[in-house]
A and B are shown apart, each in its own frame.
Chain A
Amino acid sequence: MSGLSTRHVVLGLLVERPGYGYDLQQRIDARLGFLGLSESAVYKILERLEADGWIEETGARRIGATRRGAPRVMYRATSLGRERFRAWIAAPCERAVLRDELQAKLNVAEPDDLPELLAGAEAQARACLAELATLSRPALASVAEPEVPWRDAATMMVDDFRVRSLQTLVDWLDAICELMEERIRRASRSAPSVPR
């Protein structure tokens, strides 16, 4: 996993409150589903965090058993872990690069592919609208209200990023479609054969 530090994410969840492997994996899935962390990956991270002294077992054993039949081990962050977590929060953030399949296709497509690329770009714009329609209404203003739980406020801000990313994507698709259309038009006007 490049860029985003998954161990700091797991650590952060344990700073929030103690937890066990399956519970942590569920919390990650709900909030940071894009990480695609499996339960076993979480267990590996927990082992490393414990070895580094960032987290420790609480000693409490959750009633019930994991699928493997072993008792659930509860972890909490140590004071060193809390220190490392705060340092990570304060550190500069890496910016993710959007990976877009259409960009890859543009890079390798041939001039004859223009009509398909156009259709693909339009389909992508329509998918952006569909994605927009699944997002809930904003209550972004409520982020400024101290009474609104911080966790909810944070989710709203992350959702706002998604909306703005969609806007950027739609604007880009719109621009390249216009240019590709114009290219097709000029090519058909100026020469009997499509210039390469």
Chain B
Amino acid sequence: MTPLLELRAVSRSYWRGLHEMRVLDDVSLEVHAGEMVGIYGQRGAGKTTLLRIAAGFESPDCGTVSFAGADLSRCSRRQLARLHREQIGWVERDGPQSGDLPMRTYVALPLYRRHGPVEAQRRAVAALARVGADEAAELPWESLSDTARALVAIAHALVREPRLLLVDDPTAGLGILDRERVVGLLRSAAQDARLAVVMAVPDMPAMLQAHEVRALSRGRLLAPSDREARGAVIRFPGSQRSA
């Protein structure tokens, strides 16, 4: 089965004066439909760069990014814009540009072109209900709690019924109960709606919901070691499995 998203040997550097900062170093990743991949990394580890490159917002210095088998670097601007409108959902935590927009309209915006305002709003209300943020429909972004904002942001990405969902730190600022709710929602989006989800987080408890786990460390993407591999052993209270 071809992966929906495939990064192959992706590298990316930024220049700060004469100093080259290698943000991503030979990163490869495959994500399939119905699967949620969690990427753990501390602040500045390169999580956002990785997601932006996966989305096609940014190009790698070398390596390839394919979406549904198509090389993103060969897509025209127009094709990319269409992908972002229809197939790749980016969970945007900044909210709408205009402050007084009700969330029903904000969530509907990505659909205006495809479905017209009436149908777009109908779908937006349904999407808000699906993530459990019905009460936000008539409210502006400013009046929402952090949790409601996280849910609305997910609805805004999901409303286009994308095939791939990219989520950068969805639980920032949330408490334990809300964090589980938000990450659980992403997992069920992957499982029930057969989406491919890539979620980057700086906290490990959120990673437990992922089907696959990776860690970004010094620009490199680490995969779990083979359970049988020798060399590194962790013994934990109560863990007979890891010996």
Interface centre among A129, A140, A169 (most CB of B within 10 A): A129
Q: Which residues on A sit within 8 Å (CB–CB) of B240?
A: 33
Contacts of A128 in B (CB 8 A): 215, 234
- Assuming A130-B225, A132-B204, A140-B205, is B213 touching A158 (CB within 8 A)? no
Q: What mask results when residues 173 to 210 of chain B are scored 1 for a CB within 8 Å of chain A, else 0?
A: 00011001100000100000000000000011101110
Closest-by-CB residue of B relative to A155 is: B238
For the complex, is B2 an interface residue (Cβ under 8 Å from A)?
no
Q: Which residue of B lies closest to A127 (CB)?
A: B232
Q: Does B75 reach chain A (CB closer than 8 Å)?
A: no
- Over the window 155-173 of chain A, the binary record of Cβ atoms lying under 8 Å from chain B Cβ atoms (1 yes, 0 no) is 0001010111111011101
A144, B239: Cβ atoms under 8 Å?
A: no
Given the complex, which residues of B lie within 8 Å of A137, measured CB to CB?
187, 208-209
Contact B208 A162, beta carbon cutoff 8 Å: no
Q: How large is the interface on B (under 10, 10 to 19, 20 to 34, 35 or more residues)?
A: 35 or more
Inter-chain contact A163/B242, CB cutoff 8 Å: no
A163 close to B205 (CB less than 8 A): yes
Main DSSP-derived SS at the B contact region: loop
Set A123, A132, A134, A170: member contacting B232, Cβ < 8 A: A123
Q: In the complex the two chains form, is B238's CB within 8 Å of A33's CB?
A: yes
**Is A174 at the interface (CB under 8 A from chain B)?**
yes
Secondary structure of the A side of the interface? helix
Scoring B180, B187, B218, B234 by chain A CB atoms within 10 A of each residue's CB, the highest score goes to: B234
Give the residues from 85 to 128 in chain A that come closer than 8 angstroms, CB to CB, to chain B: 120, 122-128
Asked whether B237 lies within 8 Å of A34 as measured between CB atoms, the reply is: yes
Query: Using a CB–CB distance below 8 Å, which chain A residues touch chain B?
Result: 31-34, 120, 122-141, 144, 158, 160, 162-167, 169-171, 173-174, 177-178, 181
Given A33-B238, A174-B42, 4 more contacts at CB 8 Å? A124-B234, A141-B176, A165-B236, A170-B217
Residue contacts A-B, CB under 8 angstroms, 30 given? A32-B238, A33-B237, A34-B236, A34-B239, A120-B231, A122-B217, A124-B234, A127-B232, A127-B234, A130-B224, A130-B225, A130-B242, A131-B239, A133-B212, A133-B213, A134-B239, A135-B208, A138-B208, A138-B209, A139-B180, A140-B205, A158-B237, A162-B237, A163-B207, A164-B204, A167-B203, A167-B204, A169-B234, A174-B45, A177-B217
